[in-house]
């Protein structure tokens, strides 16, 4: 599954303030998801589940990326939101560096395989330094979405060559 299939341009938040806590950021992203994707209920339950997941192990990976995620029985389809912080936020990343990019993934409970593949695909996308740099200097949601589309196309072309 491609991120462009689960991310709506309206679910892109290009200006998360650097003084926000992890919990505040999760609430902001979940609120955004609930506004954009109609029919998403249980906002508090979603936030609580994501916070509990973060307590087990931070979803802050490296290269300025965090992928908070969870599976929820009431969801019919996988959905995503993207947040960007130019200065970076403290998301307890494994590399100890600030997090600039947050990709929130919410999946149906039954979507284990697709959920894991999506996490891996997103992680691979963000290994590309040029891709990260483009996202870091772009504050327009439409442009950010286009950068994602371009990166997906680039990755698809590379996988056909290899």
Contacts for 4 with CB less than 8 Å, ≥ 6 apart: 145, 148, 149, 152
Q: How far apart are CA 91 and CA 48, in angstroms?
A: 16
Residues with catalytic annotation? Answer: 69
| CA 107 – CA 46 distance, rounded (Å) | 11
CA–CA distance from 33 to each of 18, 94, 115, 128, 137 (Å)? 20, 26, 17, 26, 24
Rounded Cα distance between 139 and 13, Å, is 9
């Amino acid at each position: 599954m491609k991120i462009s299939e689960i991310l709506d341009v309206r679910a892109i938040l290009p200006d998360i303030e650097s003084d926000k806590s992890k919990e505040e950021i999760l609430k902001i992203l979940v609120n955004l998801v609930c506004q954009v994707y109609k029919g998403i209920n249980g906002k508090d339950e979603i936030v609580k589940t994501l916070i509990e997941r973060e307590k087990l192990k931070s979803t802050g990976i490296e290269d300025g990326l965090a992928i908070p995620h969870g599976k929820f029985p009431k969801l019919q389809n996988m959905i995503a939101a993207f947040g960007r912080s130019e200065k970076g936020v403290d998301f307890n990343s494994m590399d100890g560096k600030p997090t600039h990019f947050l990709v929130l993934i919410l999946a149906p409970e039954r979507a284990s395989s697709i959920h894991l593949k999506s996490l891996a695909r997103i992680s691979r996308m963000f290994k590309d330094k040029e891709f990260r740099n483009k996202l870091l200097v772009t504050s327009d949601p439409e442009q950010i979405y286009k950068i994602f589309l371009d990166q997906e196309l680039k990755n698809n072309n590379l996988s056909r060559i290899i």
